[in-house]
Amino acid sequence: MKYIKFFIFVLALPVFAQQGGMWIPSLLEGMNETEMQALGMKMNAEDIYSVNQSSLKDAVVHFNGGCTAEVISNQGLILTNHHCGYSQIQSHSTVKNDYLAEGFWASSKDKELKNPGLTVTFIKEITDVTKQVLVGTEKAKTEKNRQQLIEKNISQLIKNSPKEPWQSNRVKAFYNGNQYMLFRVETFKDVRLVGAPPSSIGKFGSDTDNWMWPRHTGDFSLFRIYADKNNRPAEYSETNVPYQPKHHLPISLDGVEENDFTLIFGFPGRTSEYLPAIAVEQLVNTINPSRIKIREAALKEQDVFMRNSQDIKIKYASKYAGIANYYKKWIGENQGLKKSNAIAIKKEQEQAFLKRVKEAKLEEAYGSLLDNFDAAYKDFVDYNLAYNYFSEVFLRNVELLKTGFQLYQLEQVLDFRGEKAFNDRKENLLVNFESSFKNYSAKVDQKVFEKLISIYADGTPKQFITDKFISANKKELTKNIYNKSALTSFTSLQNLLSKSSPQTVIKALNQDKGYQLVKELTQDFYAKVLPVYQAKQLEIKKLQKQYMKALLELSPKEDRLFPDANSTLRVTYGKVKGYSPKDAVYYEPVSYLEGVIEKYIPDDYEFDVPQKLIDLYEAKDYGKYGYNGKMPVNFIGTNHTTGGNSGSPAIDAEGNLIGLNFDRVWEGTMSDIYYDPSISRNIMVDVRYILFIIDKFADAQHLIEEMTLVHPKE
Nearer to ligand ARG, 117 or 322 (CB): 322
Identify the helix (H) or strand (E) that includes residue 561: none
Asked if 70 and 78 touch (Cβ cutoff 8 Å), the reply is yes
Q: Which residues, including other chains, have CB under 8 Å from residue 654's CB and lie 6 or more apart?
A: 42, 43, 712
Among 85, 563, 643, 659, binds ligand GLU (CB under 6 A): 643
The continuous run of DSSP H or E covering 173 comes out as strand 168-174
- What's the closest the beta carbon of residue 9 comes to ligand ARG, in angstroms? 38
Task: Decide which of ligand GLU, ligand ARG, none touches 184; Cβ closer than 5 to 8 Å per partner kind.
Answer: none
- Answer for which of 70, 207, 260, 676 binds ligand ARG (CB under 6 A) is 207
Bridge partners of 168? 185
If binding is defined by CB under 6 A, does position 567 make contact with ligand ARG? no
Name the segment binding ligand GLU (CB under 6 A); options: 379-387, 504-512, 606-614, 640-648: 640-648
Within 10 Å of residue 586's Cβ, how many Cβ atoms? 9
Of 146-154, 194-202, 318-326, 363-371, the window that binds ligand ARG (rule: CB under 6 A) is: 318-326
Contact between 206 and ligand ARG by CB under 6 A: the answer reads yes
Q: Do 322 and 291 meet the contact criterion of CB atoms below 8 Å apart?
A: no
Contact 298, 452 (CB under 8 A): yes
Whether 190 sits among the annotated catalytic residues: the reply is: no
Q: Which is nearer to ligand ARG, 385 or 565 (CB)?
A: 565
**Dihedral pair phi/psi, residue 293, rounded to 5°:** -60, -45
Is 325 a binder of ligand ARG (CB under 6 A)? yes
Catalytic member of 62, 82, 83, 640:
83
Tell whether residue 82 is a contact of ligand ARG (CB under 6 A).
no
Which C-beta is closer to ligand GLU: that of 284 or that of 684?
684
Tell which one of 388, 406, 460, 642 touches ligand GLU (CB under 6 A).
642
SS (H, E, C) 89-115: HHHCCCCCCCHHHHCEECCCHHHCECC
646 is catalytic: yes
Under rule CB under 6 A, residue 645 binds ligand GLU: yes
Three-state SS annotation for 258-312: CCCEEEEEECCCCCCCCCCHHHHHHHHHHHHHHHHHHHHHHHHHHHHHHHHCHHH
Question: What distance in Å separates the CA atoms of residue 4 and residue 175, rounded to the nearest whole number?
Answer: 12
Beta strand ranges found along 602-713 (DSSP E) = 632-637, 649-651, 657-664, 682-686, 709-710
Decide which of ligand GLU, ligand ARG, none touches 641; Cβ closer than 5 to 8 Å per partner kind.
Answer: ligand GLU
The DSSP symbol for 630 reads B
Regarding 643 and contact with ligand ARG (CB under 6 A), the answer is yes
The footprint of ligand ARG on this chain (CB under 6 A) covers a number of residues equal to 11
CB of residue 207 vs ligand ARG: minimum separation in angstroms? 5
> Is residue 662 near ligand GLU by the rule CB under 6 A?
yes
The site for ligand GLU, by CB under 6 A, has a size of 9
Q: Which residue among the candidates 207, 209, 219, 445 is catalytic per the annotation?
A: 219
In whole angstroms, give the CA distance from residue 106 to residue 332: 39
At its nearest, how many Å lie between ligand ARG and the CB of residue 680? 14
- 229 class by beta-carbon count within 10 Å (0-12 exposed, 13-18 middle, 19+ buried): exposed
Q: Binding to ligand GLU by residue 55, rule CB under 6 A?
A: no
Residue 664 contacts ligand GLU per CB under 6 A? yes
Q: Are 659 and 68 in contact (CB under 8 A)?
A: no
Contact (Cβ atoms closer than 8 angstroms) between residue 152 and residue 257: no
- Near ligand ARG by CB under 6 A, which window of 69-77, 204-212, 356-364, 687-695? 204-212
- Catalog residues that contact ligand ARG under the rule CB under 6 A: 83, 206-207, 210-211, 321, 324-325, 643, 646, 663
- Catalog residues that contact ligand GLU under the rule CB under 6 A: 641-646, 662-664
Which residues are annotated as catalytic?
83, 219, 646
